[in-house]
Amino acid sequence: MEQVSANRSHAGVQGVYTHRSTSTGTPMTFSVFVPDHAPGAKLPVLWYLSGLTCTHANVTEKGEYRAACAEHGVIFVAPDTSPRGEGVPDAEGYDFGQGAGFYVDATREPWSTHFLMRSYIEIDLPQLVAGHFPADMDRQGITGHSMGGHGALTTALRNPGRFRSVSAFSPIVSPLECSWGEKALGGYLGPDRTSWRAYDACALIDDGARLPDLLVDQGTADNFLADQLKTHLLEDACARAGMPATIRMQEGYDHSYYFISTFMAEHVAWHAKRLV
């Protein structure tokens, strides 16, 4: 692991790092904010998964989480959304290929060589974070935005007991039911839609997966709400399963980081209460 930068901020250190991923076979960049803490102390970890077109930098520069993380003593980790670099395949458009890994392990060529973002998020990066930062891996929460909200929900649902807290901003709740999901999952996994269910939050809940609690914020002025995000499908799935969920429709907010930054401190505090 190599340090790209480190900046003092909000009684902590905001760092950016690169490493060679064993999952993707490529260099990967991620950011970590570590609040000040007593020597030898271990802090809870909040993972943040970003959306389409984003890198680690979007939330690091615009997410406004550091003051809340410093207040509550929470490490904040923001990975990239896909492998990148020489020899990594790409596609035209913003919703497939580099910047659009969808947090899946691809099984179709040419994507299956490098696009193993599920393994990167679930195995590779957590091992690195545990080995290099004062992270208490028994106290993990996860959140994300849009495609990253999809990633946060499905990662937590597939790994019962790993995350004490789960939230999302404007998540893609059912890739099986939207064009973004159909393009990504069809391209990475192939036409067999049964293999897609492991990457669909609503399908996972219908198939028996559960979360102890869930917080979702969704803006009513989000131009992707009706066609891509379809928050009502998650509300319906949680109701059918009897799974507790707080799903808040925030009047007038859109899909941008203006929205995310408005509610980020609330999400950090919500996670912190569950990560004690």
pLDDT computed for residue 158 by the predictor: 98
pLDDT band at 61 (very low <50, low <70, confident <90, very high): very high
Residue matched to tokens 């250190």: 13
Task: Residue 136: name the closest of 231, 35, 246, 58 by CA.
Answer: 35
pLDDT computed for residue 27 by the predictor: 98
pLDDT computed for residue 132 by the predictor: 98
pLDDT computed for residue 24 by the predictor: 98
CATH superfamily to which 2-275 belongs:
Alpha/Beta hydrolase fold, catalytic domain (3.40.50.1820)
Q: Which residues contact 134 (CB under 8 A, 6 or more apart)?
A: 34, 37, 41, 42, 43, 75
pLDDT computed for residue 247 by the predictor: 98
Task: Residue 198: name the closest of 230, 157, 147 by CA.
Answer: 157
SS3 content of the chain, % helix, strand, coil (to 5): 40, 25, 35
pTM of the model: 0.98
What is the spatial distance between Cα 210 and Cα 160, in angstroms, rounded to a whole number?
7
Q: Give the mean pLDDT of 123-127.
A: 98
What is the spatial distance between Cα 227 and Cα 89, in angstroms, rounded to a whole number?
28
Largest separation between any pair of C-alpha atoms in the chain: 52
Backbone angles phi, psi at 236, to 5 degrees: -65, -40
End-to-end CA distance of the chain: 29
Residue matched to tokens 């393009």: 183
Q: Is 42 buried (19+), middle (13-18) or exposed (0-12) by CB count in 10 A? A: middle
Task: Residue 122: name the closest of 26, 237, 22, 268 by CA.
Answer: 22
Tally of CB atoms within 10 A around 242 = 7
The number of CA neighbours under 13 Å toward the Cβ of 251 is 0
Percent of the chain at pLDDT above 90?
Answer: 100
Mean pLDDT of all residues belonging to the chain: 98
| Three-state secondary-structure class, residue 98 | coil
Token pair in block for residue 34:
């570590």
Taking only the tens place, the pLDDT of each residue in 136-163 is 999 999 999 999 999 999 999 999 999 9
Taking only the tens place, the pLDDT of each residue in 239-276 is 999 999 999 999 999 999 999 999 999 999 999 999 99
| Inter-residue contact 115 to 24 (CB < 8 Å) | yes
Percent of the chain at pLDDT above 70?
Answer: 100
Question: Catalytic site residues?
Answer: 146, 222, 255
pLDDT band at 87 (very low <50, low <70, confident <90, very high): very high
pLDDT computed for residue 176 by the predictor: 98
